[in-house]
Structure 1
């Protein structure tokens, strides 16, 4: 709700600022999250205002804030209202984009101000400052670096507010003690050298949104009015998108049918020189359709029921041999082989054996779902991995018991596989991590504001696998996986992938506790 004439809607802002320029006004712009206003911000704004006639402050909306789990602490309305209350600020605009370029295009400032700490491009872990400068100069403006008093909102929030649960703070401090922000950044940047082969099932997640109207009068079944639907690239395609953020050296081997719509979806994400997906007419491309209610603000997505489009019989021997031939072209020339086995036909017995024998570093995720419950157990289908991750249900099925010492069983399974790394993700309870030669660790959940858990385990596995292949300490590797999973639960399904820039900004915030 608008509380001040200074608050301008994003769609109305360009016309207003065009008019100010026609009047000869010199427009100055500051941009950021401004989650916690402090004296440093006041000085920053006052010094910026002195460079022109009108000061516009643009604010990243909460959906696109990349400060890590739990941020922003304050809502869009409160952050905008607080800025509008400052005498030196003339206008405030909420920006529905993650980076500043769209904000700059909206305002077209004569002067765009950043803090003095950004005078060196390398300070910005996202690398966006270069694009910001290009956008400013494109519209005839210039950059200025202001702020004689410097504070960090993130550090102040971490030190004086309960932005994170005590156990999360404690874990982050432990990670920071062995891997500071600069070392962490270098480790993530080093992922770009990894050559990765992803093998497994391609799944398309279709979210069909309905407005539940109630029960029908005759048959007493649930009735809903169709509102719309979205198809998302899941399974190995989701993992490919995550990995592709960190390294360009990726190949994808999977299996789909020849339905016309499938090619359009694949081409959106996979470049032809990365695409080693096998197409066969007799195979039905896997689609998992979930009927959901409209997403309520600040609450988890409500799913009603699911319909799976999956062949009952798995592909025959000819297809398996063709997959092995395709995999064999690349497997010796990569650093990491990441297998995502959803039990939908790609990873047959012969393919599993070949990959386990040939992979230089094998990271494994063997999933249980409604279509394969009890039949796709990691310790029945595989005998070797260098790293693996599984969830609580998958662990219980593998062990054959409901009650257990999860840490002890994870260690036992790691040793049985001869693995260097092993993880057990237990949702909102904990994530357990194991590495040969290190003590077992327990990592608390980072994110409590959950939208949808679909795809979170895949995001965890993707980034944790890169960390394992790089030989990182178990705490650091687990932190990386957990941070990726925490980002994934903040959006619906696989609608977005983990972004390297958001990942680095989030890690910077959490390692500053």
Structure 2
């Protein structure tokens, strides 16, 4: 099912016939429209020619994460002093003003500047400082804001001035009657540009909405083996009665209790809902919750290979909820390592079950630890796509123990926990984690900020990173978003072998999950609706 064109606003959508849909092109993005203005320093030197020139050139340099009125006045003044205005901007990899900066990727920042009529050329500077590009381009003038001379020339500006003056150029300092901070503006109200970022990634890697639809349809029948800790999440609803007068004891009245399959089991249910043929290997206790889990998974068609350990309970996390608030959580579990006998049974299942992908879903409740992970890694089928997800930021787990996997999907907190790094920016953090885990693809989940994808070992290359923003329309409940992302990105990689398409589909699945109350397995129908909506937003929104 393709997108619908709204002929009368956002309400009363009128379906389009297939023939009509083919007539509607994807909206032209900023990067496509103004690409002719974006050049390299070497190309610009050829265009301008060496000084002295008949038509003089002036160059401005900055981050330009958000172009504000102060920037505009700076650029207008610079343009008034020369025939050609060149804007140079710092590449993403050299920006360290905040953990999640830049907010806008370098290609979009370049296009934003190129869209100004007064700007003739834009250069993305891949160096930490503009010194090398100043030497290559040799602009007649190099413009800086007045703040760089207000209290004496800073050392970095002095370096730039030395190069400019050495070849006969001149420094110009623009008036500073209006000064704005991009950082302050972003902190005040971050720009919403998820669809522009999406277009950027789709253009760069050749992803189309039809390709994503085909990937969803192609997930049916893919064989996936999930191995991990089952958790039964319980919600005990109570009403407040009061407290004891002699002791600080709270009294609540039991109303009802609901149980839900969670942990690695819900990952298996997401995969099954997407159409995959799922085998699930886990450890359960000899108790009533074991039967609840087995019945629940059997009902949705998951082949469950449960190993029963009578010495431990089925993991249960029971939240006591009063008036919509979680008053208390009571956990029933045993986190000690599984025995050698159980490990042997589980590894035998991994090696013997035919699978297109194997997913290790680690909640650190006894199955995965430093002793067992090497054995689980050793028995992985050579041809299977190998995935690891380790949701253990509050315990002694570490995603980097899963070495050499095809895909890992930790969140930022888990990454910082694994590396013992609370200070680095997101790109350096992802680089470290990618290298230390020796993975092939890293999807670093950033919550409401979406995710950063690292896809190559050469972290200096632009092509090694990209950002996918969240596609949540209305947040209801974020629980389970990571499970949905893991399931759909894994299956998309099996179908398309395209990490960009897989990342986008994973983000869309996470968004669908956030729009539901509870961890509800995401269906292909829900994914098609989300793709249709996002395509509509890109084309007409």
**TM-score bin (small chain):** 0.5 to 0.7
Residue by residue, what CA displacement relative to the aligned partner does 1:396-454 show, whole Å, maximum 9, x if unpaired?
Answer: 11111211122222123223333221011121233111112733112222226333332
Within 2, Cα distance between the matches of 1:239 and 1:498?
A: 10
Shift of 1:241: 0.8
Alignment of structure 1 residues 43-62 onto 2, 5 Å = none
Q: CA deviation at 1:310?
A: 0.3
- Tell me the SS of whatever aligns to 2:521: coil
> 1:13 maps to what in 2?
none
1:174-223 per-residue CA deviation (whole Å, 9 max, x = no partner) reads 35543222211112222225221100001111112233456544333444
Q: Which residue matches 1:259?
A: 287
The answer to whether the 8 A contact 1:252-1:276 is kept is yes
Unaligned runs of 5+ in 2: 28-189, 458-462
Q: Which stretch has the larger CA shift, 410-419 or 264-273?
A: 264-273
Show the 5 A alignment for 1:4-23.
none
Q: Deviations over 1:327-359 (max 9, x none)?
A: 2221xx322111101000122445422332232
Q: Which residue number corresponds to residue 467 of structure 1?
A: 492
Secondary structure of residue in 1 paired with 2:525: helix
Alignment of 1:166-315 (within 5 A): 166-177=192-203, 178-212=206-240, 215-270=243-298, 274-294=303-323, 302-315=325-338
Aligned twin of 1:395: 415
* Deviation by residue 1:215-272 (Cα, 9 ceiling, x = unmatched): 5443334443333221111112101111012233221111111213432332233367
Q: Distance in 2 between matches of 1:273 and 1:400?
A: 37
| 2-structure distance, mates of 1:273, 1:378 | 26
Q: Is the 8 A contact 1:173 1:511 kept in 2?
A: no
Map 1:82-481 to 2 at 5 A: 117=17, 166-177=192-203, 178-212=206-240, 215-270=243-298, 274-294=303-323, 302-330=325-353, 333-349=354-370, 351-359=372-380, 360-368=384-392, 370=394, 373=395, 375-379=396-400, 381-436=401-456, 438-447=463-472, 449-470=474-495, 472-481=497-506
Deviates more, 1:437-446 or 1:285-294: 437-446
The equivalent position to 1:510 in structure 2, one of 519, 531, 534, is: 534
Question: What is the alpha-carbon distance in structure 2 between the residues aligned to residue 224 and residue 490 of structure 1?
Answer: 31
Structure 1 distance, partners of 2:385, 2:474, is 35
Contact 2:229–2:264 (8 Å) recurs in 1: yes
User: Within 1, Cα distance between the matches of 2:319 and 2:239?
Assistant: 14
- CA deviation after TM superposition for structure 1 residue 506, in Å: 0.6
User: Which whole-Å CA distance do the structure 1 matches of 2:502 and 2:276 have between them?
Assistant: 21
The change in CA–CA distance for 1:210 and 1:310 in structure 2 (over 3 A counts) is same
Structure 1 Cα separation of the partners of residues 346 and 314 of structure 2: 16
Native 8 Å contact 1:363 1:388 kept in 2: yes
1:262 and 1:409 map into 2 onto residues whose CA distance is: 39
Q: Residues of 2 paired with 1:423 and 1:276: CA distance?
A: 29
Given that 2:236 and 2:321 are in contact with CA atoms closer than 8 Å, whether structure 1 keeps it comes out as yes
Q: Residues 452 and 465 of structure 2 are in contact (CA less than 8 Å); yes or no, is this contact kept in structure 1? A: yes
The Cα offsets for residues 286-338 of structure 1, whole Å up to 9 and x where unpaired, read as: 0111123455xxxxxx43331111014332222212222222221xx322111
Compute the TM-score of the two structures, normalised by the length of structure 2: 0.60
Q: Secondary structure at the residue paired with 1:390?
A: coil
Q: For residues 364-416 of structure 1, give each alpha carbon's deviation from its aligned partner in whole angstroms, at most 9, with x where no partner exists.
A: 0112155xx2x11122x332211101112211111112111222221232233
* C-alpha separation in 2, matches of 1:36 and 1:221: 58
Distance across 2 between alignment mates of 1:239 and 1:199? 10
Give 3-state SS (helix, strand or coil) of 2:252's partner. strand
Contact 1:320–1:350, Cα closer than 8 Å, also in 2: no
Root mean square deviation, CA, Å:
3.4
Unaligned runs of 5+ in 1: 1-33, 40-72, 84-113, 124-149, 156-163, 296-301
Q: Which residue of 1 aligns with 2:8?
A: 38
CA contact (8 A) 1:201 1:255 kept: yes
